[in-house]
Amino acid sequence: MFTTGQRTGVDFSSGKWLLNELDCPKNAKDKLTEESLEFFKKNLGDRIFYIHDVKGLLVTRKINLNPNSIKLKELKDGTGFDFFINISTKKDRSDLSSVELYQDEYSTQRNEASVTLEIYDLNLKQIIYSQKVVGITNKGNTKSMWETEKSDKLIDNITLYKNSDNLMTGALKRIFKDLEKRSVK
Mean per-residue pLDDT of the chain: 83
The answer on pLDDT for 76 being more than 80 is yes
- Number of domains into which the chain is organized: 1
- Domain range for 49 is 17-182
The answer on pLDDT for 101 being more than 50 is no
Residues 148-173 have a mean pLDDT of: 70
Residue at 97 is within a domain: yes
Find residue 119's DSSP bridge partners.
85, 129
Residue at 4 is within a domain: no
CA distances from 159 to 39, 107, 130, 162, 163 (A): 32, 14, 35, 10, 13
The answer on pLDDT for 141 being more than 80 is no
For the ranges 5-19, 124-138, 140-154, the lowest mean pLDDT is seen at 140-154
Residue at 33 is within a domain: yes
The pTM for the full model equals: 0.82
Residue 138's pLDDT is: 75
Residue 152's pLDDT is: 60
Residue at 8 is within a domain: no
Tallying the residues shown for the chain, one arrives at 185
The answer on pLDDT for 139 being more than 80 is no
Residue at 6 is within a domain: no
Residue 113's contacts (CB-CB under 8 Å, 6 or more residues apart) are 89, 90, 91, 92, 134, 135, 164, 165, 167, 168, 171
CB of 49 within 8 A of CB of 19?
A: yes
For the chain, percent of residues with pLDDT exceeding 70? 74
Q: What is the CATH number of the domain that holds 68?
A: 3.40.50
Residue at 124 is within a domain: yes
Instruction: Give the whole-angstrom CA distance, residue 23 versus residue 90.
Output: 8
Instruction: Give the whole-angstrom CA distance, residue 6 versus residue 98.
Output: 32
